[in-house]
């Protein structure tokens, strides 16, 4: 099968999950990025260009494009993102950075801090899948637990009366 060969050659995404019976599970938008690239050969450069543009527009450094490409190929972004795109990957990085930055200098009485934390957590929640118990066993604490659930639990007043 052509898809299996391309996966084995590390040219397209690996499955997000492989079930005990060997069934591969993929995100619903699995073929969209390769289709938009025009060819499998064009996919790495297409991905990189889109990621760099997204990173630049979000004010992120562009030094992790290769690492993000490897993450994309691993299939692991299908675990955490509803839509596995370079833009979604960059946005997740940006939002986690904003949340971590806000938490590093808490200002619970500062309206700007509260609004930034709330909007960043809510946006990450919209972008992120719920994760599974299997994901938690595989990686331990996942980004949803750390940057959404725990933040809402630790700062309930920031998320009250929305």
**Which tens digit of pLDDT belongs to each residue from 17-70?**
999 999 999 999 999 999 999 999 999 999 999 999 999 999 999 899 999 999
Instruction: Work out the average pLDDT over 132-155.
Output: 94
DSSP-derived secondary structure for 21-34: TS-EE--TTTTHHH
- Tell me the backbone φ, ψ of residue 96, rounded to 5 degrees: -60, -40
Q: Is 17 helix (H, G, I), strand (E, B) or coil?
A: strand
Count CA within 13 A, CB hemisphere, residue 25. Answer: 10
Burial class (CB in 10 A: 0-12, 13-18, 19+), 12: buried
8 Å CB contact between 13 and 75: yes
Q: pLDDT value at position 162? A: 60
* Separation in Å, CA 47 to CA 97, 128, 145: 22, 20, 28
pTM, rounded to two decimals:
0.93
- Tell me the backbone φ, ψ of residue 18, rounded to 5 degrees: -125, 115
* pLDDT tens, position by position, 117-133: 999 999 999 999 999 99
* Separation in Å, CA 61 to CA 14, 93, 97: 26, 11, 12
8 Å CB contact between 147 and 111: no
| Averaged confidence pLDDT in the chain | 95
């Amino acid at each position: 099968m052509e898809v299996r060969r391309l996966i084995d050659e590390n040219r397209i995404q690996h499955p997000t999950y492989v079930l005990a019976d060997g069934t591969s599970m993929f995100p619903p938008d699995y073929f969209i990025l390769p289709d938009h690239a025009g060819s499998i050969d064009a996919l790495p450069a297409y991905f990189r260009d889109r990621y760099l543009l997204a990173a630049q527009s979000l004010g992120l450094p562009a030094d992790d494009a290769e690492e993000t490409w490897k993450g994309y190929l691993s299939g692991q972004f299908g675990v955490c993102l509803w839509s596995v795109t370079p833009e979604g990957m960059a946005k997740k990085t940006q939002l986690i950075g904003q949340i971590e930055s806000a938490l590093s200098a808490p200002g619970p009485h500062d309206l700007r801090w509260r609004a930034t934390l709330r909007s960043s957590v809510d946006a990450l929640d919209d972008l992120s899948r719920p994760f599974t118990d299997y994901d938690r066993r595989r990686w331990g604490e996942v980004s949803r637990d750390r940057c959404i659930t725990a933040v809402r639990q630790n700062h309930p007043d920031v998320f009250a009366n929305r």
